[in-house]
Amino acid sequence: MIDLDALQAEEIEEILVTTDSMKEVLSREIKQVPALRGRTVVNMFFEESTRTRISFELAARALSANIVNFTARGSSVEKGESLIDTVRTLQALGADMVVIRHSQSGAPYLVAQHFHGSVINAGDGRHAHPSQALLDLFTIRERLGQLCDLKVVIVGDILHSRVARSDIWGLTRMGAQVTLCAPPTLLGPSHYWLATWPNIQISHHLDTALEGADVVMALRIQKERMQGGLLPSLREYSRHYGLTPERLARLGQHTLIMHPGPMNEGVEISPEAATAPNSVIEAQVTNGVAVRMALLYRLGG
């Protein structure tokens, strides 16, 4: 499971149905089933991430798998061990599945070539973050009952975002209408996007893009983008592309507000928008565990 580009709509549908069953397990008093008893999952995080790591960890435990956390800091990686050697070592230690987060796009493909079990991409560089995209799809469908024909606006640092890329794959496969909205410096040339996804819309003007939107997904603005000269100031970004209280008021009550986290409140999203009744940001986090259970089960069962 490295990205959603390899999945057909029916396969995505099956994962979402399994996720629904997993959500029922998580609603029980005893949130654990024996499906992956005796399996060993290694969480390999070469990049900091609390939310995704804990989410995979809880998912593996809910399926009774053994899970071991591996972080690059303080490990053999600091002693110069290569990614391939690390993977071979984990294989020799008996790992059945690997969950990998890496700052280099494509690192999970390399791991998959050298590991005999299943590999789940938990985010690689700018490339992909499939479990995040699947939890976004699940959350939208849970709230709005469908994905097909919905208008979804993704706003923010799309150029550097693996979440955006996986979301576009998943949303377009499921028949949603995707609009990308960002300043030109955070989007790059339109033809770059249209070459892969000819049916998506591209906009540099958020208020226009939001007209008739069923879902608006704000992406995190990383502070280092300022130093790279891609943004004049965070305040200016917020005024043009932030989910401000004024824009929130103009959105319909039914328009879902989403964010993959962690949020920069006051930059890409205002505290009012983050906690509005139509915000599903917390539901995204909750559903993340169920989605990851579905992925672990389907790959390791």
Partner 1 sequence: MNNRKQILTADEMRRALVRIAHEIDERNGGLQDVILVGIPRRGVPLAERIAATIADFEGIQLPVGQLDITLYRDDLRRRGMAEVGKTSIQHDLTGKVVVLVDDVLYTGRTVRAALDAIADLGRPDCIQLAVLIDRGHRELPIRADFVGKNVPTSRSEHVMVHLREIDAEDEVLIERTKAEQ
Q: Which residues bind partner 1 (CB under 8 A)?
A: 14, 17-18, 20-22, 24-25, 28-30, 32-35, 63, 297-298, 301
Please state the closest distance from residue 131 (CB atom) to partner 1, in A: 17
Beta carbon nearer to partner 1, 45 or 297: 297
Element holding 121 (H helix, E strand): strand 118-124
Residue placing its CB nearer to partner 1 in the complex, 62 or 153: 62
Q: How far is the CB of 99 from partner 1 (least distance, A)?
A: 17
Contact 162, 130 (CB under 8 A): no
In this complex, which beta carbon is closest to partner 1, that of residue 16 or of residue 257?
16
50: its two tokens: 């609390």
CB of 97 to partner 1, least distance (A): 13
Starting at the edge strand found earlier in the chain, the sheet holding 256-258 runs 201-203, 177-181, 151-155, 215-218, 256-258
Q: How long is the chain?
A: 301
- From the CB of 36, what's the least distance to partner 1, in Å? 8
Pick between residue 64 and residue 185 the one whose CB is nearest to partner 1.
64
Q: Which residues contact 187 (CB under 8 A, 6 or more apart)?
A: 158, 159, 180, 193, 202, 204
Residues 284/134, Cβ–Cβ less than 8 Å: no
Phi-psi region of 104 (alpha: psi -120 to 50; beta: other; left: phi over 0): beta
d(CA 138, CA 140): 6
Least Å from the CB of residue 32 to partner 1: 7
**Which value, to the nearest 10 degrees, does the dihedral of the CA atoms of residues 261, 264, 269, 270 take?**
130
The verdict on whether omega for the bond into residue 262 sits within 30 degrees of 0, i.e. cis, is yes
Cβ(58)–Cβ(69) under 8 Å?
A: no
Nearest to 184 by CA among 224, 231, 128: 231
Backbone angles phi, psi at 139, to 5 degrees: -65, -40
Q: Nearer Cβ to partner 1, position 14 or 142? A: 14
Nearest CB to partner 1, comparing residues 80 and 145: 145
**Please, what is the minimum distance in Å from the beta carbon of residue 264 to partner 1?**
37
Beta carbons of 98 and 42 less than 8 angstroms apart: yes
Comparing CB distances to partner 1, the nearer of 19 and 132 is 19
Q: How far is the CB of 35 from partner 1 (least distance, A)?
A: 4
CA distances from 44 to 17, 83, 118, 250 (A): 27, 10, 13, 43
In the block, residue with structure tokens 């906690």:
275
Question: Residue 61 Cβ, how far from partner 1 at the closest point, in Å?
Answer: 14
Of residues 31 and 239, the one with the C-beta less far from partner 1: 31
